[in-house]
Amino acid sequence: MAAILGRLREAGAARVGLLSGPEPDAYTQDRERLCRQWCAETGQAALVETPATSEDPVDAALRLLSAPARPDAVHGLNETYGQAGVHAPARDGAASLVNGREV
């Protein structure tokens, strides 16, 4: 997790967020804990958003992306949340950038 978030920081993101999942499994809990730890070590507020179990992950991504201190980059816990992060701006009427390209 530190390597992933660090790479996003190296690519120019000042605030890196995590779009997590509602599953209470060890993987999810570890990723969130490691993200919060990395944020504390790098002096950034933890930007973690988790959808409710029955909520569309895109709605959680929109919350994260519309927060007052919105992240410059978002890491999706897995493909579901990565795709939610890509599709959220389009639902909000904006373009998404993936690897520097508009999608």
Q: Identify the CATH number of the domain in which residue 88 sits.
A: 3.40.50.2300
Is a pLDDT exceeding 80 seen at residue 16? Answer: yes
Domain that holds residue 75: 2-102
Q: What's at 33, amino acid-wise? A: R
CB 11 within 8 A of CB 73: yes
Whole-number pLDDT of residue 93: 58
Contacts of 72 (CB under 8 A, 6+ apart): 12, 13, 14, 15, 16
Number of structural domains (the chain) is 1
Least reliable range by pLDDT among 21-30, 61-70, 94-103: 94-103
Give pTM, 2 decimals.
0.84
Percent of the chain exceeding pLDDT 90 equals 73
**Quick one: which H or E segment has residue 18?**
strand 16-19
